[in-house]
């Protein structure tokens, strides 16, 4: 069996880590931080802990909400732990993936997380489709009006007109000058 690696977190500077650190005293190494980040990416010490753990280590937290901010966040963390062959122990909830029952409990949580991710994805796609049907355009707003694009094409085709000067005049990159010319000349010729 590997090492026991602990992780403790409080959300604000006014809160204290003492109680969690006392409960993680049997861990060989403990990572801790004061952060309220919504995902694991917003918590640098958690990232360090997840990078630090090795094959057959046990990752220990006092409560599930100290580890993850949502079921989706939890599922991502669990996936990382599983990929490194690291078990998880959550002291207050009695989750211990070193046991058969703990793995079952955790797999149920992971399945719920996967289901929640799929629901979010499905709702996002439906919302996007409805917005497109209403005429909403996604992506960056065009920098140039149709009239300015016509002027750009005229400038592009004018002999002796530098593409760099055109780009500077319209406040766009040289590659955008070529792209706009190509896109709009094809549309005109069709």
Q: Give Cβ neighbours of residue 187 (< 8 Å, ≥ 6 apart).
A: none
Instruction: With CA atoms as reference, report the closest residue to 33 among 43, 25, 20, 47.
Output: 43
**Residue 176 catalytic?**
no
Q: What are phi and psi of 60, to 5 degrees?
A: -120, 130
Whole-angstrom CA distances from 189 to 82, 161, 175, 181, 185 are 56, 23, 21, 12, 6
Catalytic (active-site) positions: 11
């Amino acid at each position: 069996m590997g090492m026991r690696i602990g992780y403790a977190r409080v959300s604000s500077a006014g809160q204290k880590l003492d109680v969690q650190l006392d409960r993680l005293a049997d861990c060989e190494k403990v990572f801790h931080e004061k952060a309220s980040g919504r995902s694991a990416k917003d918590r640098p010490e958690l990232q360090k802990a997840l990078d630090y753990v090795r094959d057959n280590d046990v990752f220990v937290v006092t409560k599930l909400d100290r580890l993850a901010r949502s079921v989706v966040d939890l599922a991502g963390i669990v996936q990382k732990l599983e990929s490194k062959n690291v078990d998880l122990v959550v002291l207050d909830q009695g989750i211990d993936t070193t046991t058969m029952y703990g793995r079952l409990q955790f797999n149920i949580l992971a399945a719920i997380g996967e289901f929640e991710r799929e629901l979010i994805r499905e709702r996002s796609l439906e919302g996007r489709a409805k917005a497109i049907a209403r005429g909403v355009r996604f992506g960056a707003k065009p920098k140039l009006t149709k009239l300015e694009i016509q002027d750009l094409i005229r400038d592009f085709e004018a002999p002796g007109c530098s593409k760099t000067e055109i780009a500077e005049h319209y406040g766009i990159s040289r590659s955008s000058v070529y792209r706009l010319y190509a896109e709009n000349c094809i549309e005109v010729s069709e």
